[in-house]
Structure 1
Amino acid sequence: MYGYDAGVLGGVLLHQPFLDAIGNPRATYTIPMIVASYDLAAAVTAVVIAFFSFRMGRRGTVILGNLVAILGSVIQASAYSVAQLIVGRLCTGFAIGCISSAVPTYLSETGVEIGDRGPANAFNAILLISGVPLAYWIDYGFIMMDNQASWRVPIIFQCIFAIISGGTMFFLPDTPRWYYAVNRWEEGDATLAQLNDADVSSEKVQRTRQEILASIEAELEANASLNWKPFLTMGIVDKTRLKIIRRLSMCFWLPMIREWMGSSLLAYYSSVILATVAKPSLVSLLSGVLNIFYALGCVPLYFTVERVGRRSVLLYGAIAMTVLISIFTALAATGPEHPAIQWTAIGILFIFLFVFGYAWQGCVWLYCSEIAPLEYRHIGAAATASGEWLMTFITVFAGPIGFAQIGWYFWLWVISGNVVAVIFVYLLCPETGGKTLEQVDYLFVRKGLPGLRKDFDVTEEDMEDAFEGKEKVGVQHHE
């Protein structure tokens, strides 16, 4: 639903029956605002929902999002004005703000083994991006007709995903970490036992339970040193013991940088972008194939993320993408009058999106869900979603205007985003693979920037120091 929502409107924006229904708007900013209102609503929702999502839980937030998505789809599909269409887009934006802030956290917190989190989030990314080409091809088929159903049916089709997703969540529990964090001990024990397929009294369940409770206690101790000032430095100047502010700041900036790198710009406006380097007769076909390549890029991550590691995927992916988008920009600047240059530029764009799907689409959600502290994981998820959707709003709103006003020079903005990504990951991102969510806490305990330290492992001494005197905290608190 995430990918389908993002792409479905883009395929009908220039379709005449759609334009007739909303009064054939002629203002330059009308269409970009219709598209970008969705992203703005998602960004705002991700921030606002942080104040309520901890009480609702990961499961409740997902269900709420799906219910509102159905409402938003109905409003859009029945629209006969720009205002009604924007209201529908705002509703679906609210829905996706809820869902995108809760689902990655739910997936990470329900992983039983250390190696479960990577494949689960990678599979999530495959399905997420697959929604983009699915939306495009459904649009492509329906706009062959010349009636109102040609755009209303693809829009209302969003409801199918929302019904399946929200309906499924009614039969699933929340995560054990959330149950323990809100002192619902029995449900936490039952869910943890169910996930491990073992009795509550088993050694594995009790060990995991003890680690979760010790982690909660350590984070509660760190609360006293929290204040707003370190957020202004992106968390680099963070005197809290567990670097909570730095980690929450990273949850915001990583997805924001990803959108700066060109993710949604290429997904939303692939037809517009390809029109600058390809013949008009090929643009529609190439756009559909390009989005398929984007989705296929997510597939290798499922098999390699636990072997290669999150940091390496993000860092080397950003380096490769910087080189590729720089080459594409140089070719686009040369002009579309040379067929060989045209096809080379198109080929580079295909490779760029494939690498993007592999390196930064699923891995960012996974990494942010892992580095967010348990007591603040709902805030970390909200920061991740808000950073994602805020920059998506900026790029989606400014993209078509930028291409129209300055042409290929707009790609220099995208190149700068890829360069920033390389620097950010190198300096600030330690490796989280191969560790429990509780062990990740102590990757940030040592002084200095993580990227400049050679050792990212949590040692026996670290864990003994971190958990010293904490083993019985959960039991005492329960008693």
Structure 2
Amino acid sequence: MPEYDAGVLGGVLLHKPFLDAIGNPTATYTIPMIVASYDLAAAVTAVGIAFFSFRMGRRGTVLLGNLMAIIGSVLQASAYSVAQLIVGRLCTGFAIGCISSAVPTYLSETGVEVGDRGPANAFNAILLISGVPLAYWIDYGFIMSDSQASWRVPIIFQCIFAIISGGTMYFLPDTPRWYYARNRWEEGDATLAQLNDAEITSEKVQRTRREILISIEAELEANASLSWKQFLTMGVVDKTRLKIVRRLCSVILSTVARPSLVSLLSGVLNIFYALGCVPLYFTVERVGRRSVLLYGAIAMTILISVFTALAATGPGHPAIQWTAIGILFIFLFVFGYAWQGCVWLYCSEIAPLEYRHIGAAATASGEWLMTFITVFAGPIGFANIGWYFWLWVISGNVVAVVFVYFLCPETGGKSLEQVDYLFVRKGFPGLRKDFDVTDEDIEDALHVSGKLDVVKRDVAAGKPS
């Protein structure tokens, strides 16, 4: 739904019935303001919602987002003024800020097996990006008409996605990790047992339960030494046991330094972009998140460098220009595979449980903020400096390569609780294939958090631990 919402208005901006409905505005920045209000609202919402989304839960945040999506769609589809259209766009942007920051976390935290998170988030990326070509072709089908329905129907069509998504989520529970973090033990136990299709007393469920509770206790211990000063120094003075600041800064930098600002509205290119997400579903668990991000960024750096060289020498040479377009096809496919679905997955895994909503908010905020900047800075940059603008894009890809190589450990093949141990122990032991949380690790974590005696008393009393 997010990408459909983002792309549907683009296909009708110059459509006469649409312009007639909003009074045929002539001001230079009116249309860009209408378009960009959506992205800006999504970016601001993703940041603002981090302050209360943990209380609402992943499920509650998604439900709120879908409700606002319906309201925003209705306002846009019934608009007869620029002001109402912008208000509708702001509401829809608010909705997408909520949804895009909560869904990847929900998918990651409800995965039963370690290998569930990758395919689930990859499939989510396929559906996400498919919204762009869907919006393009729906607009294309209606734009042949001169009636008001030709632009209002594609916009109100957004409601279908929100109703399906919100209606489904209404009957689903929140994640067991969120229930435990909120001290809602019975709901956490019931959800965990339901996800595993086993009794709460089974060894598999009990071990997962212990790992989640230990992770929560370790984070509580880390919180005691957490301060905003550590964020200002980018984690250099981060002394917390789980390296919380470093992990959240990893999330923020991975989105702000995203490797591409290319904005292509062509329907065929957008289909190619969506198709790039498909192989991620089958390979992300085998290849690993770090490899996908790293080698994807390297490939994109090479491709965009070649494209820039062609763009600099291409004017007046059709063969070179067509070659450049071919490079863009490949670039967009690689981008869809490596840096669209995988970034959302990685950011939902790398942040600690009680800060996962902040990490997700930073991811969503970076996504929509960079989209907002693209809408404004892209055309201005090309108009003023031409192909030199692509040098900035190349630099973003280079930063991505360096960032992933030095700061991103592998999170694939591990439970979310095992990811915590990547930052507890010296170095990155998670790079070892046989890494696992042993009973000694569990006892050590409980001892540090002061809960070892409590657990032993529960075991002696016959209570689930």
TM-score normalised by length of structure 1: 0.86
Query: Are residues 273 and 230 of structure 1, via their aligned partners in 2, closer, same or farther at CA, if it must alter by over 3 Å?
Result: closer
Report the Cα offset of residue 449 of structure 1.
Answer: 8.8
2:308 matched to 1:329?
Answer: yes
Q: What is the rounded CA distance, in whole Å, between the counterparts of 1:208 and 1:456 in structure 2?
A: 16
Report the Cα offset of residue 402 of structure 1.
Answer: 2.2
Query: Are residues 433 and 280 of structure 1, via their aligned partners in 2, closer, same or farther at CA, if it must alter by over 3 Å?
Result: closer
2:413 matched to 1:434?
Answer: yes
Q: Is the 8 A contact 1:122 1:298 kept in 2?
A: yes
Q: Is the 8 A contact 2:255 2:366 kept in 1?
A: no
Q: Is the 8 A contact 2:260 2:393 kept in 1?
A: no
Q: Is the 8 A contact 2:258 2:397 kept in 1?
A: no
Q: Is the 8 A contact 1:274 1:283 kept in 2?
A: no
Query: Are residues 284 and 57 of structure 1, via their aligned partners in 2, closer, same or farther at CA, if it must alter by over 3 Å?
Result: closer
Q: Which range moved further: 403-412 or 192-201?
A: 403-412
Q: Is the 8 A contact 1:112 1:195 kept in 2?
A: yes
Structure 2 gaps, min length 5: 446-455
Q: Is the 8 A contact 1:275 1:283 kept in 2?
A: no
Match in the other structure for 2:463? 477
Deviation string, structure 1 residues 186-215 (Cα, Å, up to 9, x no partner): 111111000000011111111111110010
Query: Are residues 457 and 314 of structure 1, via their aligned partners in 2, closer, same or farther at CA, if it must alter by over 3 Å?
Result: farther
Q: Is the 8 A contact 2:419 2:430 kept in 1?
A: no
Report the Cα offset of residue 387 of structure 1.
Answer: 2.0
Report the Cα offset of residue 451 of structure 1.
Answer: 12
Report the Cα offset of residue 79 of structure 1.
Answer: 1.6
Query: Are residues 377 and 44 of structure 1, via their aligned partners in 2, closer, same or farther at CA, if it must alter by over 3 Å?
Result: same
Report the Cα offset of residue 222 of structure 1.
Answer: 0.3
Report the Cα offset of residue 164 of structure 1.
Answer: 0.4
2:262 matched to 1:276?
Answer: no
Deviation string, structure 1 residues 339-378 (Cα, Å, up to 9, x no partner): 2112101110000000001001010110011011111112
Query: Are residues 476 and 54 of structure 1, via their aligned partners in 2, closer, same or farther at CA, if it must alter by over 3 Å?
Result: farther
Query: Are residues 115 and 13 of structure 1, via their aligned partners in 2, closer, same or farther at CA, if it must alter by over 3 Å?
Result: same
Report the Cα offset of residue 477 of structure 1.
Answer: 12
Q: Which range moved further: 438-447 or 152-161?
A: 438-447
Q: Which range moved further: 277-286 or 368-377?
A: 277-286
Query: Are residues 186 and 293 of structure 1, via their aligned partners in 2, closer, same or farther at CA, if it must alter by over 3 Å?
Result: same
Q: Which range moved further: 55-64 or 110-119?
A: 55-64
Report the Cα offset of residue 458 of structure 1.
Answer: 7.2
Q: What is the rounded CA distance, in whole Å, between the counterparts of 1:201 and 1:275 in structure 2?
A: 40
Q: What is the rounded CA distance, in whole Å, between the counterparts of 1:282 and 1:415 in structure 2?
A: 10
Report the Cα offset of residue 277 of structure 1.
Answer: 28
Report the Cα offset of residue 450 of structure 1.
Answer: 9.6
Report the Cα offset of residue 11 of structure 1.
Answer: 1.3
Report the Cα offset of residue 6 of structure 1.
Answer: 1.4
Report the Cα offset of residue 41 of structure 1.
Answer: 0.7
Structure 1 gaps, min length 5: 248-270
Q: What is the rounded CA distance, in whole Å, between the counterparts of 1:279 and 1:356 in structure 2?
A: 10
Report the Cα offset of residue 336 of structure 1.
Answer: 3.7
Q: Which range moved further: 75-84 or 93-102?
A: 75-84
Q: Which runs of 4+ in 1 moved over 6 A?
A: 271-286, 448-461, 470-479
Q: What is the rounded CA distance, in whole Å, between the counterparts of 2:395 and 2:261 in structure 1?
A: 29
| Matched residue SS, 1:276 | helix
Query: Are residues 425 and 237 of structure 1, via their aligned partners in 2, closer, same or farther at CA, if it must alter by over 3 Å?
Result: farther
Deviation string, structure 1 residues 49-87 (Cα, Å, up to 9, x no partner): 112211211111101100100000111111222221111
Report the Cα offset of residue 236 of structure 1.
Answer: 4.3
Q: Is the 8 A contact 2:277 2:336 kept in 1?
A: yes
Report the Cα offset of residue 20 of structure 1.
Answer: 2.3
Q: Is the 8 A contact 2:121 2:345 kept in 1?
A: yes
Q: Is the 8 A contact 2:382 2:389 kept in 1?
A: yes
Q: What is the rounded CA distance, in whole Å, between the counterparts of 2:441 and 2:200 in structure 1?
A: 28
Q: Is the 8 A contact 2:256 2:370 kept in 1?
A: no
Q: Which range moved further: 13-22 or 352-361?
A: 13-22
Q: What is the rounded CA distance, in whole Å, between the counterparts of 1:275 and 1:234 in structure 2?
A: 13
Match in the other structure for 1:460? 439
Report the Cα offset of residue 234 of structure 1.
Answer: 2.9
| Matched residue SS, 1:24 | coil
Report the Cα offset of residue 275 of structure 1.
Answer: 30
Aligned residue pairs total 453
Q: What is the rounded CA distance, in whole Å, between the counterparts of 2:245 and 2:138 in structure 1?
A: 43
Query: Are residues 44 and 281 of structure 1, via their aligned partners in 2, closer, same or farther at CA, if it must alter by over 3 Å?
Result: closer
Query: Are residues 279 and 358 of structure 1, via their aligned partners in 2, closer, same or farther at CA, if it must alter by over 3 Å?
Result: closer
Query: Are residues 20 and 385 of structure 1, via their aligned partners in 2, closer, same or farther at CA, if it must alter by over 3 Å?
Result: same
Q: Which range moved further: 54-63 or 108-117?
A: 54-63
Q: Which range moved further: 229-238 or 7-16?
A: 229-238
Report the Cα offset of residue 175 of structure 1.
Answer: 0.6
Q: Is the 8 A contact 1:63 1:169 kept in 2?
A: yes
Report the Cα offset of residue 276 of structure 1.
Answer: 27
| Matched residue SS, 2:260 | helix
Q: What is the rounded CA distance, in whole Å, between the counterparts of 1:15 and 1:317 in structure 2?
A: 38
Query: Are residues 318 and 409 of structure 1, via their aligned partners in 2, closer, same or farther at CA, if it must alter by over 3 Å?
Result: same
| Matched residue SS, 2:336 | helix
Query: Are residues 83 and 189 of structure 1, via their aligned partners in 2, closer, same or farther at CA, if it must alter by over 3 Å?
Result: same
2:344 matched to 1:376?
Answer: no
Q: Is the 8 A contact 1:305 1:313 kept in 2?
A: yes
Report the Cα offset of residue 431 of structure 1.
Answer: 0.2
CA RMSD of aligned residues (A): 5.3
Q: Is the 8 A contact 1:66 1:166 kept in 2?
A: yes
